[in-house]
């Protein structure tokens, strides 16, 4: 058995930022991650991180207003205020730790424009901002002697006397199962992108932590709010950063028309993501697309500029679409990118399950509400990662471990035994995973309706019946990725069900949840969050009022 004060699941930006603040606050901290820390999906973030810095004539209140409006008024305004107020210090702190942000002509931290924002307030490192931030934070937690269990896989959370007190984890290299006791646990396990196919997310983004928290009794919130990013590459679904449009790229339809002037005459390509994705879908559905896509044109930016600020995009275009963006427009379409919802927390990261905190994409504070602004997620991971690390490490002071022993892992051990005993006539995990991804992308995408969502939900439930019968051909203990993928699939289906149940429950259009059968926003009845909690009868729905401080709901146009 292993003991630590604060146990963090996940070594992305949220997990590492939480680890740093907890260790600086005197706690004995451990981080468990299923991949080597710098392979976490945060590494793939391209475009940047938002902050309103006063030397640029910006004000956190303007950032907060843009975020509230972007969320279609579903974001909790107390949390949004905290995030935007603390953003500047967080970016400067990362700069001081060693992140080499791109500079403007005067040598100061430079910004680029991002969608849904009145001002250019996105700080960036070319088009690999996440990688730069993640590597610097990793250096910092190594320096601070945080215990890192890399390539260890979370199986479940431990709950004793109604309190989260640790986790059951599997060491992937040996297949050995361990109990880690902790006085507080922070779930920073990232998003669930791969519940949908295709997705911009890494293959490891399987919603494990959301499912584990849900199974342990925490509630999930805003799960119906799934972001489709307007510029994902034809075929593979790889992301083409919003920074390209921020730096001046256009969207064109098959007639060579900049169609965004019809849908968002003021902000054009830089309207909120939900707005741009819907506009593209309408163009494609009206027959003005090209092979299910529209075109992103950045030729006018010139080779020198593209090489300096968007070099990774040029490489992605060449490698995945055989297009050199310097000379040709590139085909893009709306694709699954981000889950606004997650484990419901307060502004200090505490979930509804005592002892359990959460931060980053796994969590829902809720600062993104119905639609996240580009470059607000990296900010969310750092601000609420730091806050949850701080509060969890305060809470463990003077606390002792719960009296749990090795037997706490018995349930997971026998679950794995059962799975390994399935015979070869049974299901293959890849087939179930593909059907789940296709189902979600068909019924819970940019436009939704009741009949489609009902069908999607019943398909997901049928897949849940099949997942227990998945055949795991590899019976070995060493790096049994076959077993791990099967365990992930089981967790993904809990997430898929939570998304489907929440979406079918909201009879209005708000943010990313747009219904052809209920096209209007209904503030009178639905200015509230949907929560899903596990019960013996399946997912149970509850509601929570949205926190409104300064900004009353208004008509949202760009």
Ligand X SMILES: Cc1cc2nc3c(=O)[nH]c(=O)nc-3n(C[C@H](O)[C@H](O)[C@H](O)COP(=O)(O)OP(=O)(O)OC[C@H]3O[C@@H](n4cnc5c(N)ncnc54)[C@H](O)[C@@H]3O)c2cc1C
402, 103 contact by CB (below 8 A): no
For ligand X, the binding residues (CB under 6 A) are: 9-15, 32-35, 40-42, 44-49, 129-130, 153-154, 188-191, 200-201, 205, 208-209, 239, 338, 360-362, 375-378, 381
333, 292 contact by CB (below 8 A): yes
Q: How far is the CB of 488 from ligand X (least distance, A)?
A: 7
Q: How far is the CB of 65 from ligand X (least distance, A)?
A: 18
Catalytic status, residue 510: no
Q: How far is the CB of 49 from ligand X (least distance, A)?
A: 6
Buried b or exposed e, range 307-329, using 16+ CB within 10 angstroms: eebbebbbebbeebbebebbeeb
Phi, psi values for residue 230, rounded to 5°: -70, -25
Measured from the CB atom, the residue of 44 and 260 that comes closer to ligand X is 44
Residue 416: alpha-carbon gap to chain centroid? 28
Please state, as a whole number, how many other Cβ atoms lie within 10 Å of the Cβ of residue 5: 23
What gap in Å lies between CA 387 and CA 348, rounded to an integer?
5
Q: How far is the CB of 251 from ligand X (least distance, A)?
A: 19
Measured from the CB atom, the residue of 27 and 170 that comes closer to ligand X is 170
Measured from the CB atom, the residue of 25 and 42 that comes closer to ligand X is 42
Measured from the CB atom, the residue of 121 and 515 that comes closer to ligand X is 121
Beta strands in 204-283 (DSSP E): 220-221, 226-233, 250-252
Q: How far is the CB of 556 from ligand X (least distance, A)?
A: 21
Tokens encoding 389 = 């690390």
Q: How far is the CB of 168 from ligand X (least distance, A)?
A: 11
Q: Which residues pair with 531 in a beta bridge?
A: 221, 542
Using CA of residue 546, residue 549, residue 555, residue 556, what is the dihedral sign? negative
Measured from the CB atom, the residue of 48 and 317 that comes closer to ligand X is 48
Tokens encoding 375 = 């470059």
371, 337 contact by CB (below 8 A): no
Selected catalytic residue, list 245, 273, 372, 515: 273
What gap in Å lies between CA 182 and CA 193, rounded to an integer?
29
Q: How far is the CB of 44 from ligand X (least distance, A)?
A: 4
Measured from the CB atom, the residue of 35 and 270 that comes closer to ligand X is 35
Lay out the sheet containing 528-535: strands in order across.
Answer: 363-364, 342-344, 220-221, 528-535, 538-545
The bridge status of strand 163-171 relative to strand 356-358 is unpaired
115, 91 contact by CB (below 8 A): no
Measured from the CB atom, the residue of 49 and 323 that comes closer to ligand X is 49
DSSP state of 110: P
Residues with catalytic function: 273
């Amino acid at each position: 058995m292993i003991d630590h004060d604060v146990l963090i699941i996940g070594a992305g930006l949220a997990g590492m930022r939480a680890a740093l603040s907890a260790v600086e606050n005197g706690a004995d901290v451990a981080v468990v991650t299923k991949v080597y820390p710098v392979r976490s999906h945060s590494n793939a973030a391209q475009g940047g991180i938002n902050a309103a810095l006063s030397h640029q004539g910006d004000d956190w209140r303007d950032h907060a207003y843009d975020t509230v409006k972007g969320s279609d008024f579903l974001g909790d305004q107390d949390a949004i205020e905290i995030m935007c107020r603390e953003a500047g210090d967080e970016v400067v702190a990362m700069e001081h730790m060693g992140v080499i942000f791109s500079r403007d002509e005067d040598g100061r931290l430079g910004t680029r424009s991002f969608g849904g924002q009145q001002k250019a307030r996105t700080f960036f490192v070319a088009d690999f901002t996440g990688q730069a931030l993640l590597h610097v934070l990793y250096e910092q937690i190594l320096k601070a002697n945080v215990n890192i269990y890399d390539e260890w896989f979370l199986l479940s959370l431990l709950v004793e006397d109604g309190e989260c007190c640790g986790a059951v984890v599997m060491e992937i290299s040996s297949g050995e199962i361990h109990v880690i006791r902790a006085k507080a646990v922070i779930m920073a396990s990232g998003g669930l992108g791969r519940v949908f196919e295709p997705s911009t997310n890494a293959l490891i983004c399987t919603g494990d932590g959301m499912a584990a928290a849900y199974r342990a009794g925490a509630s999930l919130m805003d799960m119906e709010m799934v972001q489709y990013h307007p510029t994902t590459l034809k075929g593979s679904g790889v992301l083409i950063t919003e920074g390209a449009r921020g730096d001046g790229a256009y969207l064109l339809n098959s007639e060579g028309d900049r169609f965004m002037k019809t849908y968002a005459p003021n902000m054009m390509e830089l309207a909120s993501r939900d707005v741009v994705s819907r506009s593209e879908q309408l163009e494609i559905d009206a027959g003005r697309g090209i092979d299910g896509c529209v075109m992103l044109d950045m030729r006018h930016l010139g080779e020198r500029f593209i090489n300096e600020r968007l070099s990774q995009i040029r490489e992605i275009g060449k490698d995945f679409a055989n297009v050199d963006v310097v000379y040709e427009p590139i085909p893009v379409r709306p694709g699954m990118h981000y889950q606004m919802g997650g484990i419901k927390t307060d502004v200090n990261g505490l979930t509804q399950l005592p002892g359990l905190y959460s931060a980053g994409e796994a969590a829902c504070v809720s600062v993104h509400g119905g639609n996240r602004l580009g470059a607000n997620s990296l900010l969310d991971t750092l601000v609420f990662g730091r806050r949850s690390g701080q509060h969890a490490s305060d809470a463990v002071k003077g606390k002792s471990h719960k009296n749990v022993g090795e037997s706490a892992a018995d349930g997971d051990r026998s679950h794995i035994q059962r799975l390994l005993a399935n015979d070869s006539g049974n299901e293959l995990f890849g087939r179930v995973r593909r059907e789940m991804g296709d189902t979600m992308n068909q019924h819970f995408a940019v436009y939704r309706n009741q009949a489609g969502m009902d069908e999607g939900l019943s398909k997901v439930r049928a897949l849940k019946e099949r997942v227990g019968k998945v055949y795991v051909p590899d019976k070995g203990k060493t790096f049994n990725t076959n077993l791990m993928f099967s365990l992930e699939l089981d967790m993904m289906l809990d997430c898929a069900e939570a998304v489907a149940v929440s979406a079918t429950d909201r009879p209005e259009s708000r943010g990313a949840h747009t219904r052809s059968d209920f096209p209007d926003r209904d503030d009178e009845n639905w200015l509230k969050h949907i929560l899903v909690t596990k019960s013996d009868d399946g997912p149970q729905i509850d509601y929570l009022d949205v926190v409104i401080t300064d900004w009353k709901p208004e008509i949202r146009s760009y």
